[in-house]
Amino acid sequence: MLRNAHVTIARGAARLLIGGVIDFAARMSDPDARPRPDLATDGDARPAFRLLLAHNPKIAPMAEQAGFDLQLSGHTHAGQFFPWTVVIHWVHGPHAAGLSRRGRLWVYVSAGTGTWGPPVRLGTRPELTLLRLVAAKSVSLPAATRTAPSPGP
């Protein structure tokens, strides 16, 4: 478990820093608990891809400030059913579901496989996401994936 902590994986000259933060909901059991992306990175100047695992996508501004490259989140269930499909986009802005951007930080929010509350999905689909990280020099992204999707409802 990475609770405001990180681990670095090295393969040859390549480094991957994986950080994890606690959720905002941790305050229910510990009033002083809060997500700290700044503690989930090492501050090392050596090049590394920095990946943050954060349940709630609202942590994105702090993740960007801490220097992360990619944040993986969930929490929203992509709205799960109407009218929450609209509300989630209003509450979570561009980071409601799928891939979006905040400055230099990419944010991916998975709709997840389960449900919260009523066991129903209407207007959203469960998903299992497979991400493959590759060196930037070998990546050629199609134009459609270079820009973040619109945050519309």
Predicted confidence (pLDDT) per residue in 57-85, tens digit:
999 999 999 999 999 998 887 768 788 78
The pLDDT score that the predictor gives to residue 138 is 52
Closest by Cα among 13, 40, 46 to 135: 13
The pLDDT score that the predictor gives to residue 54 is 95
Residue 149 binned pLDDT confidence (cut-offs 50, 70, 90): very low
Mean pLDDT score of the chain? 82
Sequence-separated (6 or more) residues with CB below 8 Å from residue 132: none
Q: Is a pLDDT exceeding 70 seen at residue 18?
A: yes
Model confidence pLDDT, tens digit, residues 115-130: 878 788 878 888 889 9
The pLDDT score that the predictor gives to residue 23 is 87
Output Rg (C-alpha) for the chain, integer angstroms: 16
Q: Is a pLDDT exceeding 50 seen at residue 12?
A: yes
Residue with the larger pLDDT of the pair 19 and 40: 19
Residue with the larger pLDDT of the pair 140 and 106: 106
Residues 44-53: what's their mean pLDDT? 83
Contact present, 103 and 61 (Cβ < 8 Å): no
Residue with the larger pLDDT of the pair 63 and 98: 63
